[in-house]
């Protein structure tokens, strides 16, 4: 009993002294850190989740998934310095698309059309001022699949030959991921050819609205088929002011169609 007590005591003393010894010999070095401080991880942006709650962008998301392009885009969002810029048409833009239709495309062509909706680099809205000077900008679909941008005092206009539209709102724009809502599905000449039918001249505007009960679908259609509306330059800014902005915009839209 006594012996074991002494044994423990002496062991403890030994331990203490050896640790004291170690302390005195070891050079005055900064405390050991097990791993170097990790670089701040960029926030993971789940594109599927983001597109599922915004919009509605369900049609675009379905195409992204059926063509597996979602993996290409998510990988670019995850792993690159460059980042990604995606142009997303709403469900109503897909339903307004009667001619040419996406349903007759081969799966390869459809994949190219979806890849055509993104640039392999992050661009803030302000960056498009610069891009408009460079002429055509290559998209994710590569090669001859390019888009032309023009900046009209803050409104970004997009021209693919077949589709002349604009950025209608910024869904997400934080480096490295930008997602912009666009007014139309972007159709590449590389798939649909250069034989673009001329845009029909707008019908002469009547002085008085024919009826206040015209169906909403009809007005959505005519809005989608007109290349640009007079309120174009200010629509983006108005949109960012929320519900009142939307009301004002809707009023403008109705006025523009008279």
Residue-wise DSSP of 93-142 = HHHH--SS-GGGS-HHHHHHHHHTTEESS---GGGHHHHTTSSEEE-TT-
Applying CB under 6 A, which of residues 71, 82, 108, 217 lies at the interface with ligand NAG? Answer: 71
Applying CB under 6 A, which of residues 78, 132, 150, 229 lies at the interface with ligand NAG? Answer: 78
Nearest in space to 160 (alpha carbons), one of 188, 141, 129? 188
Applying CB under 6 A, which of residues 92, 109, 136, 169 lies at the interface with ligand NAG? Answer: 136
Task: State in angstroms the smallest separation of the CB of 201 from ligand NAG.
Answer: 20
β-strand pairing of 84-89 with 177-182:
parallel
Instruction: Confirm or reject binding of residue 49 to ligand NAG (CB under 6 A).
Output: yes
Helix (H) or strand (E) segment spanning residue 234 = helix 232-239
- Binding window for ligand NAG (CB under 6 A); candidates: 14-22, 42-50, 171-179, 217-225: 42-50
Instruction: Confirm or reject binding of residue 75 to ligand NAG (CB under 6 A).
Output: yes
Sheet holding 164-174, edge to edge: 118-119, 84-89, 177-182, 164-174, 155-159, 146-152, 136-138
Task: State in angstroms the smallest separation of the CB of 46 from ligand NAG.
Answer: 4
Task: State in angstroms the smallest separation of the CB of 194 from ligand NAG.
Answer: 9
Task: State in angstroms the smallest separation of the CB of 209 from ligand NAG.
Answer: 35
- Binding window for ligand NAG (CB under 6 A); candidates: 22-30, 69-77, 88-96, 176-184: 69-77
Applying CB under 6 A, which of residues 92, 109, 159, 222 lies at the interface with ligand NAG? Answer: 159
Task: State in angstroms the smallest separation of the CB of 230 from ligand NAG.
Answer: 22
Residue-wise DSSP of 16-75 = HHHHHHHHHHS--PPPPPSSPPPPPPPPP--HHHHHHHSTT-HHHHHHHHHTTHHHHHHH
Residues 6+ apart with CB under 8 A from 209: 258
Q: How far apart are CA 172 and CA 54, in angstroms?
A: 10
Cβ pair 74, 208 in contact under 8 A:
no
Instruction: Confirm or reject binding of residue 92 to ligand NAG (CB under 6 A).
Output: no
Nearer to ligand NAG, 192 or 252 (CB): 192
Instruction: Confirm or reject binding of residue 44 to ligand NAG (CB under 6 A).
Output: yes
Applying CB under 6 A, which of residues 92, 109, 132, 148 lies at the interface with ligand NAG? Answer: 148
- Binding window for ligand NAG (CB under 6 A); candidates: 11-19, 72-80, 112-120, 173-181: 72-80
Query: Which residues of this protein are in contact with ligand NAG, per CB under 6 A?
Result: 44, 46, 48-49, 52, 71, 74-75, 78, 127, 130, 135-136, 148, 159, 161
């Amino acid at each position: 009993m006594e012996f074991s007590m002494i044994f423990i005591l002496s062991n403890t003393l030994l331990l203490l002294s050896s640790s004291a010894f170690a302390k005195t010999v070891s050079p005055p070095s900064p405390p050991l850190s097990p791993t170097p401080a990790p670089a701040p991880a960029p926030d993971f942006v789940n594109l599927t989740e983001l597109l599922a709650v915004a919009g509605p962008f369900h049609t675009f998301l379905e195409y992204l998934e059926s063509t597996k392009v979602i993996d290409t885009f998510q990988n670019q969002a995850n792993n690159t310095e460059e980042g990604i810029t995606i142009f997303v048409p709403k469900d109503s833009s897909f339903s307004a698309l009667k001619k040419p239709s996406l349903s007759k495309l081969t799966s390869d062509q459809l994949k190219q059309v979806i890849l055509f909706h993104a640039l392999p680099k992050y661009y803030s809205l302000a960056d498009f001022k610069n891009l408009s000077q460079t002429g055509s900008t290559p998209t994710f679909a590569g090669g001859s699949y390019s888009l032309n941008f023009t900046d009209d005092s803050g409104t970004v206009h997009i021209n693919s030959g077949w589709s002349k539209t604009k950025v209608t709102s910024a869904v997400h724009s934080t480096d490295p991921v930008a997602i912009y809502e666009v007014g139309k599905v972007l159709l590449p000449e590389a798939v649909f050819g250069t034989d673009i039918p001329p845009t029909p001249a707008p019908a002469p505007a009547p002085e008085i609205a024919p009826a206040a009960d015209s169906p909403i679908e009809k007005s959505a259609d005519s809005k989608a088929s007109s290349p640009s509306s007079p309120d174009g330059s200010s629509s983006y800014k108005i949109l960012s002011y929320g519900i009142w902005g939307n009301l004002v915009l809707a009023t403008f839209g109705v006025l523009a169609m008279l």
